[in-house]
Chains A and B, each alone.
Chain A
């Protein structure tokens, strides 16, 4: 498996990686610019600030989120640069349209679409013609094995949306928690409304994911996005493709701090009649270490959890 320190982080880095790859007999001589290799036969495709995981084997290709119709065409073309093998499976991480639109390009060559059953249910309840309906739905766990690799799918209940599925790639020992945990480090949510967070199960979800990471000997967490982060030299760089497993616990800690701050605010009567926690009563120091810290985002993030404590949802 490729060391994370050799992961391409910038365009220049990508060029270096390209040269390194060109010297390695185990990898194709050229990697398209929108592809990163993260392990033997394991890649991330990039488009529009998103990353999608795929596995190349001698018995076919397993693709995850197709993103959207335009991205999916680029995705297919990039895979064709790596292998002549057909795409056999498309696996949806969850039901959000910005991740799962455009799978036709893969299903047209015979790929089967796989999703957790609550995703399938949602596509029935709220159909979108751009989203191909799953052929295979599963409840808790499902394994796709091809050519000596496997993509293991695990469902631990609602977390980000109702059906988010944890991906584990073996034997590489990689895990992806799409839209929930991002390299390089734990962060504030990109959308401060936190419209998708399911507080009634989020803690349990993170506990189960951390336990799985240990049980499955996961060594690194894969990104599902690319964003610009501080490069430590006064500039910016694209966020890396991988992070140590500890990022799961760090992100769980962020949410636990939110739960705990809201509990404290309830106990101490620091919630206004509009159900917002009063900003001036929040101990902000505990949130400052997290990427994307913005003090003024805390009340709206916490509003979601105030509702949870009142209503159980």
Chain B
């Protein structure tokens, strides 16, 4: 199997979460972009309407949303210094009203950078308080510091629209929030689950940026939100990938939105890997042997899309550390 076919499906299937440098970012519009390693055409950015007055803006593998109201625009992650001006231009095609709010989903630079173009037109930046602390601890001149911070919950209201933000404790990053668009009842999720499949292998199997010690609690609360608010649709903060069922070639999933079932699936994923590591240790398996033992048992091998034994070993080494140290 050539490297590209080992690597690319992985990257696509795993929803290209977090920090993926896109090979073709510098390309000009007139140069046709291809999916890295393939001959598939690839638009560097696109804007899709996902509900009335609600839009998804994708730039490379990253996605943000913006909501158009009769008093201005509520935007989310500006993504990067390259993406944000494009997003602003896309917004201008829809409305002349200014961007009044920019809400950060979390503090990672690959989602939060580039907001200056919105700041310049007077936008107020909103972030969970631990995100603000992160940006003080490790500042980046390309990331606009928040004007408004909050703890567990915040609601942006503008004109006839509103966007709710919920913080359920550390998850991916220590300050990630989920966002609920009230008019369409759509949930915007970044980096923690992506439609259409909650069983996709983690893009980084070491889950280095995740806080696995709180993931089951996090997803339990998120699933509770899905149920109590009767949420049916999720918008993913990344472009999804899959395999072509006929050719088995990697392909982009045309689906910015997907069913909210990804939340329950991700909850089950985290619950299963957390329990498996703890159970092996409780049975007396030496920590160094836990990953091999779990791979031998075939844990979730038929369930995880893009299952790869080596990646599973890395993941289970992480989960074993968690069981021993609490981190």
Contacts and interface: CB of A to CB of B under 8 A. Distances in A.
Question: What band does the interface of chain A fall in when counting residues whose beta carbon is under 8 Å from B?
Answer: 35 or more
Given A193-B317, A313-B173, A307 B137 contact: no
A160 to B, nearest CB: 10
B15 interface: no
A95 B327 contact: yes
B33 interface: no
B214 A125 contact: yes
Contacts of A128: 326
B110 A96 contact: no
A126 B322 CA distance: 11
A297 to B, nearest CB: 11
Interface residues of B, number: 40
Count chain A CB atoms within 10 A of each CB in B7, B19, B173, B322 and give the residue with the most.
B19
A96 B208 contact: no
A208 B7 CA distance: 40
B209 A272 contact: no
Contacts of A311: 18-19, 108-110, 209
Interface stretch (A18-26, A51-59, A195-203, A229-237): A195-203
B220 interface: no
B325 A98 contact: yes
A203 B262 CA distance: 38
Contacts of B299: none
B7 A272 contact: yes
A201 B19 contact: no
Contact of A310 (B110, B213, B325): B110
Given A128-B326, A200-B138, A310-B110, A303 B206 contact: yes
A306 interface: yes
Interface string A238-280: 0000000000000000000000000000100101111100000
Interface of A: 95-98, 122, 125-126, 128, 131, 157-158, 161, 191-196, 200-201, 266, 269, 271-275, 300, 303-304, 306-307, 310-313
Given A131-B326, A193-B317, A201-B137, 18 more contacts: A95-B327, A126-B326, A157-B137, A158-B137, A192-B317, A195-B327, A266-B21, A273-B7, A273-B20, A300-B314, A303-B204, A304-B208, A307-B18, A311-B110, A311-B209, A312-B107, A312-B109, A313-B108
